Each structure stands twice: as structure tokens, then as C-alpha cells.
Structure 1
Amino acid sequence: MTVQLTPDICVIGAGSGGLSVAAAAAAFSVDVVLLERAEMGGDCLNTGCVPSKSLLSAAKAAYSVGQAGAFGIDAKIDGINFAKANDHVHNVIAAIAPHDSVERFEGLGVRVIKSHGSFVSADCVVTEGYEIRARRFIVATGSKAAVPPIKGLESVPYLTNETIFDLREAPEHLLIIGGGPIGLEMAQAHRRLGSKVTVVEGQKALGRDDPELAAIVLDQLRGEGITIEEQATVSEVEADGSDITVRWTGSDGTAGEVSGSHLLLAVGRSPNVDGMGLAEAGIEYDRKGIKVGADLRTSNRKVYAIGDVTGGLQFTHVAGYHASLVVRSILFRLPAKGNRDVIPWVTYTSPELGHVGLREPDARHRYGDKVKVLEAAYSGNDRALAEAQGKGKLKLIVGPKGKLLGADIVGPQAGEIINLLSLAISKKMSMKDLAGFIPPYPTLGELVRRAAITYYADLPKKNWLRQVLALLRKFG
């Protein structure tokens, strides 16, 4: 027998965005049904952010032993137990999982149905044993690893973010197709844990980030022994026994190839829209994802879509941001419009690479010669020098009247510093604000104030100001 449900809100997908909407709605005693066919917590908890950062932390611990000599400490690694590093990854997932569990959300008052849901009409979703007619629907089904149409791939065993964290032994030679954040994070983690690593990227590695700062990361990775082939379009992959070969064509027409033991695909993400009945609901979508307006509504006014499935910036914190906008709209009937200019991102390699706001080319396109770029180097920061981490740089992109438009940073704890700058941009702060705050000494956060102060570097040269100061001195 099919059970009829008429909740106020039906959320499809229990990843970061979907869970945030469900929890917020339940907190206000709103009737919510949450559908999830796979693991609670979605990609971030189970196969994305949490396991990748946990593996990177294990790799950083191993690497730091080799760097101890800079502090006069004679330390050596007797061996790396990759299986125990993998245990750490899964222990972290297990520690966080209860926060995202069915039991917790049912305790909050959310009705959780562990099943796939699909639309059969503009206002009805069906799932195993249930027919759901809600006032509003939120599609938060996320994304999955994209599988490119490469010749021979169908006959070659390959890994994605969904399977690489199941490895119990370090790959002898890990081949990675894709030089974006996921590919390079996994490249450094596995290299530091004992694998040989080759990355093949069809365009420019870390091409979304500031080229000068991205080059610092790439130099570090290459210095650790990672081979990175850029402008190399993969033409074919082939398996021969336990060996996998990747062949490519360079931008100059030359051919190249490399063989290894394992292959990881890290060429982007595809939205999870298959089998959802979106056409039956009148919801427009394409291969990039569900089409939404600035208010995150789809072409069906009863349905919102948030997070990766919308095909925009695919980060956990973006899904959370989308969730807050949807809650604002549905529960409080307040205007909600997403602002991409305030979205930060971080690549968690060592050194970290962070960005928020407008990139320099975009800022110059919008504001022309009114844009200034202010810089502060890690080599001029006392805390960085004390920790023997003087390689890195902060850039502030500044617009008219000293307003902060964007920021790029590479170096230790870049992600933490981007937190401050993300707040500054969202609150429309200026160089006056950033030059006037007092960071504790010695901290890496001093980089922000040091860069902001340079906005006023030309003031002592201004004749009118010198005249004012001279006049003031006459008064004693």
C-alpha cells in the first residue's frame, strides 16, 4: 500500500545542503520529509572533503618528519603504514557520521526515508512505498565524478573519489587524469605516503587560480617528485596485465605516454539528475545541472535546487550557503539572492591555495584602472619565519575608494586567512578597515594588515598632506 504524505517541505538528498535545510526547517517545527538513497552526509562526508583532508593530514605528518632537520632535529621515518593511514580516514568519517545520521535527524523531527525519489508530476514525488505532495521541494542530490569519453577507458580499471579511499595499500605508481584541486590534493597525499605519482592535465593545472600563486604550489609538488604534464590531452588508456598506460597529445602535437599501477579520474563533476523525473516536473536542466535563477528556484516554481546539482561552484560550503538562502525564502518569505562574488575556495595542498571574491582579471574588467593589487609576502611575516615557512604570498584586489574586491593567497594556513577576508568582502570592508584592525603578534593574520597598509604607501609623498602637517605644527 502506498502511503500519502503532504509535508510542508520535501528535501531530496542528504548531503550538506539538504541536511542544512532539513535541520533548519525542523527547528521551526516545519513538517519535513528527507529522501536519501545512499549514505547520509553525502559526498563530502563519505567520499569527498572529509576523507581527502584526513588523508592529507596523514601525509603531512609523514612529510614533516623529513623537514625536522631545519629545526636541528634528527628524525627519520622507519616506514609508512598506508593501511593505518586509511584507518585514520575512516575513523574520522565514523566520528562525524552520527551528526549526519538518520537517528539524529529523526530526533530533530525530520521524517527520513532511505530511498530514491523521482518526480511524476509538477507537485508529486514518488519513492518506495510513498507518494509525497509537498508545498515546496528542494533538490539537493549533489554530483558524482565525471567520466570522460577516453578511448579504452571502458576496459581499464580506474578509481574516482568514491573508491580511492578504499585502498589499503599505497599504489606503486598512481596516474591521475586531471590537475585541478582534487587531482593535485590526491597527488601530494599519495606521494608523501610513498607512491610515485604522475598527473596529466589537458589545460593548465590549477587554472582557475591566480597563475603566479598557483605556480608556487606546482613548484612545490614537482619538488616533492610529482610529475605534472600540462597542456596534455589524453587520447587513450590501455591495460596490460597489472600495468595501465595513459597516452596523450601535447599542445605542440607531440605524443607522450606513462605507465603505472593505478588510475584516478579527477576531471570534474557531473550532476546527479538521472532517474529523477525532472522533465515530468517541468524542471529545466542540461548536462551541467539543473537550471536555477539567482533565488535558486527552478523553472517549476514549487521546486528549488541547491549545491552541486545546479552546476555552479561545487563546494560543500556553497551547498550550505544555498541552503541558508532557501530557508530564508521558504520559511520567512524574505528575498534571497545568491552572490557568487562572496564565495571562497581553498585547495588543501601544502602550501594551501585560497581565493575569495573577484579575480584580478574580472576586477579590472569591471573597474578598469581603478583596481590596485596589494601584496604581502610570507617571507616578511615573523610567524612564518619562526616556523620555517616563509614561502608564500597574499594578494588583495582593491577597487574604488579602497574597497576589498577579492583576495588570493598561497602559503601555510591560507584557508584560515581566507576566512577573515571572506568576512571582509561579505561586509564590504575597505583598506581602512583592514589596516585598522589589530592582529595578535606573531600570527600569519598579520599578512592582511601589512598588505592593507601598503594602500596608503604614497600618502607621505602627497604635497597637500605635507602642507597640512606643516600648518598643524605651527599650532604647537
Structure 2
Amino acid sequence: MREIACDVAVIGAGTAGIAAHAAATRAGARAVLIERGPGGTTCARVGCMPSKLLIAAARAAQDARAAGQFGIVVAGVRVDGAAVMGRLRAERDRFVASVLSGLERIPAELRLAGSARFADATTLLVDDHTRVAARSVVIATGSSPGVPPVLEAVADRVLTTDTLFERATLPESLAVLGAGPVGVEIAQAMARLGVRVTLIDPAPAVGGARDPEVAACAAALIGEALDLHLGATVEAAEAVPDGVRLRWRGPDGAEGHATVERVLAAAGRPPNLAGLDLARAGLDRDEAGLPDFNPQTLQCGSAPVFLAGDVNREHPVLHEAQRQGWVAGGNAARFPQVEAPEPWPSLAMVFTDPEMAAVGRRFEARAAREWVIGEASFADQGRARVMGRAAGLMRVYAEPDGRLLGGEMVGPGVEHLAHTLAVALQEGWTAATFLDRPFYHPTLEEGLQSAVKAIADRTGGTR
């Protein structure tokens, strides 16, 4: 067995792992990167980028159908499913190739292929060919799609985000189990591309919305294009000649059913921890096997082991995974001296149409009784009406003294509005400070300005 000594060993070459290796190297450490494959990051291969390519195609189809409101006549819209999926994979492969090209710039002797497992807290065995002795280890093994037990009987007709984008064409019909960000994005995109879609989730809201007003608005808007069942639990699935027959029970106890060509399991991505032999690393773990870790330093207890990216379930989005990689890699290189940078304001987005976003403090009914809440509707927002996209709602939260806390929104362009609000939160702005900034007319940003002005009016901060 080959022996390698290094300062930092990084397990996993996804977004967090690549960032951790770069941070450790920048800190002067000799860092080894271990990847069992397939490489290319979850985002590029099966996550952010292929899903956004599907959404872009759906948006093009929807824009063509909606052109009549502007006096533009489109004779007919025909979706070529094979062409949609062909472009998706071609562009996806470009993104993956770019990631792999970056990995190839790491010296070959510092890249190991295979599955790593702990022999002890600082010794890793890579398959049966290499023993790695490190001063510290970063676990950045990511996550994989989970399939609910109820679907085991029809497993050969179940898709996940790891397999969906490999289809040659679009299905005729699709049931999506899980109305979280991934599920609702794909469900709406498929529906707009002509697929008959049934979306089912035991949760009461789409896209992870917590503010009841925003959640109700989002469900009404997104439910226009598909058969939406919230608060419903799938109780049975059976194979039938033309696909899968599902049976579910709704929140009122009523039973529902549908027969679809395929089922997409989009109810979560468990962390990739199996096979690591974490017990040999001496880490304290919870009932699900996740090591106990500090969410700011990412260190597991007092051990020289750090947990970064989707594997820790803290913030399973790319920008957070990248930052966590930088933090974990830097701390691994400096161990035992570690740093605990201040967390960024929470920033979550759902790329439906209209888009959804949540920034900063999430809605809690009990806490909200003490907040000042500013609200603005996109139904009356000037730029949204000009664009023919006048639908949606935003709610911004603040302390009684006007200090901004966060907000939730559904509407056109909220991916940009959410960034603006996130900066305001990170800078500690009050409503008055926020309003003392330029807002161009006519823009969607004026809708956010209106919501914050409603707070300022109630907290004495209006200029």
C-alpha cells in the first residue's frame, strides 16, 4: 500500500471540497484531495445548472404562450422534448468540463481517486491502494438523493435528480414527491413544457415558505400550472402497464390517486457518510450518524476533523458550501488554531416563475407578534405591470426600532431584490438607512422600497 503524508486531507471534490483544498493550499499546507467520483460537483452535474437549463426552456415556452398580452401573435408553441433535453445535457457537460479542468490543475500526486475511510482521526485508507497520514481532515462528501420507502416497489420507474437529466426526452406525465425548492422548480418547469404534473408534499407550503401570507400566494400562483396537493402523504405506489399508480391521503383525510409515467423523488438528499468508518475517527454523532460540529468553525468537537458543504446539512446551497469549504480548509491548515467567522445572513431562493426568496430571519408566528412587517404586492407594482408579470407578494420584517431582520417574497425578479435585502441585513441597516439609498424608476426594486417604507412609516424612520 502506498503511503502519503500531508497536512490536510480533503475527502470529496465537490464545491466545498474544491474550496477547502484551495484554502488549505493558500494557507501554505500540503493538501491532498480524494474523490471517489463521478466528479464535476453536484451543482454542475445534477443540481443548480441542469435544473436551471430546464427552467430556462420552460420560461421560453411560457413567454411564447403569453406573448398575446402584448399584441404579439404566436401561431403555436410546440415543445420538442428531445431537443430540450439535448441542449440541457450539452450545456451541463460544458459546466462539468470546466470544473474538471480546474481539478486537473492540481498536481497529480495531490489527487487521489477512490473511496476514503478513517483508520483513525488523522489516517485515511483510500480503497486498498493508499494510506494517507494527515494532520487534519476535511469531510466534504456531499449528499445523494433519497427515495422514500413507499416507492421501493416501483423503483425501476422512479427518477431522482441524478437520473432525470439523462432521459432522452420528456415524460408524458410525472408525479413529483416533494414540493421543496428542487421539487417545485422541476415540477413547474415540466408542466410548462407540456408534461402532465402532479406535485405532492406532506408540508403545507411550496418552496419551503414559512410566512403564511407568502406561502398562500406562492401556492396559488404555482398551482396554476399543475395538480398541487399540499399536506398530502403518499400511502401506496404500484406498477401498472402505463406507469405508476399512486395513492395519497390529504390533510382532510380524503384519498387521492393518479397514474403517471414516472415518479420523481425530490423529498431530500441525505448526507454521504456511509463507508467513512466515522467510529474510527472517534467523533460524537447524532442518531442519524451526523458528527457533532461547530457551525461557525466547522470543527467536529475537539478533533482535527472538519465538516463542510451539503454533508453537514447546515446550508445546502452552493454559495454556502463554497464559503464553508474556505472556512474548513483554512481552519484545517491552521489547526489547532481555528477561526469562527460571522455567518452570512441566510439567503435562499427558488427559481420558479414567479421566483421565491427568503432572507435573514425566517417567519415565526410567536416572534412576529413583536415585529414590524412591511408588505408590498406585485399586483400593483409599476414595472411588474409593464412586464406583464404583475403577481406576487413581499413581506419584510423589522425590530420595533426599525432594524431590518429579514423577509420572504414571491414575485418577478426577487432573486435580485433578495440580494439587496441581504446586503442591508449584513450591514445592519434600519428601514430609514435603507430608504436613504437610490432607487431608480421604474424598477422592480421600487417594490422592495415600498415594503421597507411601510416599516419606516410605523417606526418613525420616514424621511
Matched, 1:349 2:352: yes
- Flag the structure with larger Rg: 1
Q: Deviations over 1:174-211 (max 9, x none)?
A: 01111222111111111111110111212313254322
Match of 1:273 in 2: 273
CA gap of 1:131–1:257, structure 2 versus 1, over 3 A, is same
- Take 1:48 and 1:375, find their aligned partners in 2: how far apart are those partners? 32
Q: Tell me whether 259-268 or 196-205 shows the greater mean CA deviation.
A: 196-205
Q: Per-residue deviation at 1:441?
A: 2.5
2:375–2:395 CA contact under 8 A, matched in 1: yes
Q: What secondary structure is seen at the aligned counterpart in 1 of 2:103? A: helix
Distance change >3 Å, CA 76–CA 27, structure 1 → 2: farther
Name the CA shift for 1:27/1:90 in 2 (closer, same or farther; >3 Å): farther
Q: Aligned partners of 2:347, 2:220: CA distance in 1, in Å?
A: 23
For 1:76-475, what aligned pairs fall within 5 Å after superposition?
A: 76-101=75-100, 103-109=101-107, 111-128=110-127, 129-150=129-150, 153=153, 156-206=156-206, 207-224=208-225, 226-285=226-285, 286-287=287-288, 289-294=290-295, 295-299=297-301, 301-331=303-333, 333=337, 335-337=339-341, 339=343, 342-361=345-364, 364-365=366-367, 369=370, 371-457=371-457
Identical positions, percent: 28
Shift of 1:459: 7.9
Matches within 5 A, 1:26-105: 26-101=25-100, 103-105=101-103
Distance 1:461-1:152 versus aligned 2 partners, 3 A rule: closer
Q: Deviations over 1:377-407 (max 9, x none)?
A: 2234332222111212221110142111111
Greater RCO (CA < 8 Å, at least 6 residues apart): 2
Distance of 2:237 and 2:342 partners within structure 1: 41
- Give the length in aligned residue pairs: 456
Could you report, residue by residue, the CA deviation over 1:427-457 in whole angstroms, capped at 9, with x for unpaired residues?
2222122111102332212223222222332
Q: Which moved more, 1:3-12 or 1:66-75?
A: 3-12
Counterpart of 2:394 in 1: which secondary structure?
strand
Whether the 8 Å contact between 2:432 and 2:456 is mirrored in structure 1 is no
Change (3 A) 1:123 1:388: same
Deviation at 1:8, TM superposition (A): 1.5
**In the superposition, relative to structure 1, how do residues 4 and 202 fare at CA in structure 2: closer, same or farther (>3 Å)?**
same
Paired position in structure 2 for 1:471: none
Contact 1:198 1:228 in 2 (8 A): yes
Q: How far did residue 154 of structure 1 move?
A: 5.3
Contact 2:14–2:39 under 8 Å retained in 1: yes
Q: Is the contact between residue 23 and residue 108 of structure 1 (CA under 8 Å) also seen in structure 2?
A: no
Structure 2 unmatched ranges of 5 or more: none
Does the 8 Å CA contact 2:65/2:77 hold for their aligned counterparts?
no
Q: Is the 8 A contact 1:288 1:311 kept in 2?
A: no
Query: What is the TM-score normalised by the length of structure 2?
Result: 0.92
Matched letter for residue 112 of structure 1: R
Q: Name the amino acid aligned to 1:292.
A: F
Whichever residue aligns with residue 210 of structure 2, its letter is D
The letter of the residue matching 2:362 is R
* 1:113–1:387 Cα change, 3 Å: same
The verdict on how the C-alpha distance between 1:152 and 1:454 changes in structure 2, with shifts beyond 3 A counting, is closer
Cα distance in 2 for partners of 1:305, 1:419 equals 27
**Residue 368 (structure 1) shift:** 5.3
How far, CA to CA, are the matches of 2:164 and 2:460 in structure 1?
A: 57
Change (3 A) 1:96 1:461: closer
In structure 1, what is the Cα distance between the partners aligned to 2:400 and 2:328? 32
Counterpart of 1:104, as a letter, is G
Aligned partners of 1:288, 1:344: CA distance in 2, in Å? 27
- Answer yes or no: is the 8 Å Cα contact 1:66–1:76 preserved in 2: no
1:104-145 CA-to-partner distances (Å, cap 9, x unmatched) read: 234255722221111111210111421111111110111111
CA RMSD of aligned residues (A): 2.4
Change (3 A) 1:6 1:152: closer
The TM-score normalised by the length of structure 1 is: 0.89
AA aligned to 1:359 is R
Whole-Å separation in 2 of the counterparts to 1:316 and 1:77: 38
Partner Cα distance (1:24, 1:99) in 2: 20
- Structure 1 residues 31 and 461, CA, compared in 2 at 3 Å: closer, same or farther? closer
Query: Aligned partners of 2:460, 2:272: CA distance in 1, in Å?
Result: 58
Take 1:456 and 1:426, find their aligned partners in 2: how far apart are those partners?
19
Note closer, same or farther for the CA distance 1:380–1:434 as it changes in structure 2 (3 Å cut): farther
Measure, in 1, the Cα distance between the counterparts of 2:256 and 2:248.
Answer: 5
Counterparts of 1:306 and 1:167 in 2: how far apart (Å)? Answer: 31
Aligned-residue offset at 1:56: 0.5
Q: Distance in 2 between matches of 1:138 and 1:373?
A: 41
Structure 1: which amino acid aligns with 2:345? V
User: Relative to 1, partners in 2 of residues 1:27 and 1:313: Cα closer, same or farther, differing over 3 Å?
Assistant: closer
| 1:351-390 deviation line (CA, Å, top 9, x unaligned) | 111001112317x53x852x10012222343322221112
